[in-house]
Amino acid sequence: MADFTNQFDPKKGDQDAAAERINSAARDKVDEAEEKVKATEQDTAKTPEDMGKKMGTAPQSKKKLDKKLKEKAKAEKEGAKKFEVDLDRYTEFVDRVTSEPSKDFTALMERYAELKSQGCNIQRLDTAASGMSAEAGEFMEIVKKLKFQGKDYTAANKEHLTKELGDIMWYVAQACLALDVRFDEVIYTNTLKLAARYPNQMFETNYSENRQPGDI
């Protein structure tokens, strides 16, 4: 490896020569790197067939690949058409079925004005909805790691969950302010709804899956 330091000895007074040696060494390293890139590109498989030729050390994987290639060749021979999605047309479709307030700022502001005239505290309601969704995601992220990624259920992680739950409650309070209802009113309304859904005062799959009209 070229040494880019201590190339110049002040005692020799040969600054130009030292600079030239440094530049030459740098050019050599650049050329060497470019050669390695070219060699890697040449050695990289460009097609599934090329990949199959390079998989001699992985017989099981090569066997699966060979099977896929045979199936592909058979399908092409029989004239089977591959299912394809026109992404441009799909994007146009998405735009057509999107409401104006969702894609036009002026329309959104007009909708806000309409909601305000109806007595809706949309700014606080929007804050609550956005915040509850975001904080619930952070809460779920911890639970996900507990379930699937080996995260230990420690006092620190329990505290973390409690803090995230506190953030959720902060946004729930925002929602209550936006709707002009009390916490206890929300809990009472929820209790009445569930009591009506489960007449035996306990969870039952039948009542959960087959709800009465108006049970939301």
Domains held by the chain: number:
2
Helices (H), strands (E): how many in the chain?
10, 0
The verdict on 173 and 117 lying in the same domain is yes
The verdict on 127 and 175 lying in the same domain is yes
Instruction: Indicate if the pLDDT at residue 120 is higher than 70.
Output: yes
Residue 77 lies in a domain: no
Rounded to an integer, the average pLDDT of 6-29 is 62
pLDDT of residue 80: 59
Instruction: Indicate if the pLDDT at residue 2 is higher than 50.
Output: no
For the entire predicted model, the pTM comes to 0.60
Contact indicator for 164, 121 with CB cutoff of 8 Å:
no
| Rounded Cα gap, residues 102 and 108, in angstroms | 7
The verdict on 121 and 160 lying in the same domain is yes
Nearest to 180 by CA among 132, 118, 127, 124: 124
Contact indicator for 194, 211 with CB cutoff of 8 Å:
no
What are phi and psi for residue 200, nearest 5 degrees?
A: -90, 10
5-14, 24-33, 150-159: which range is least confident on average? 5-14
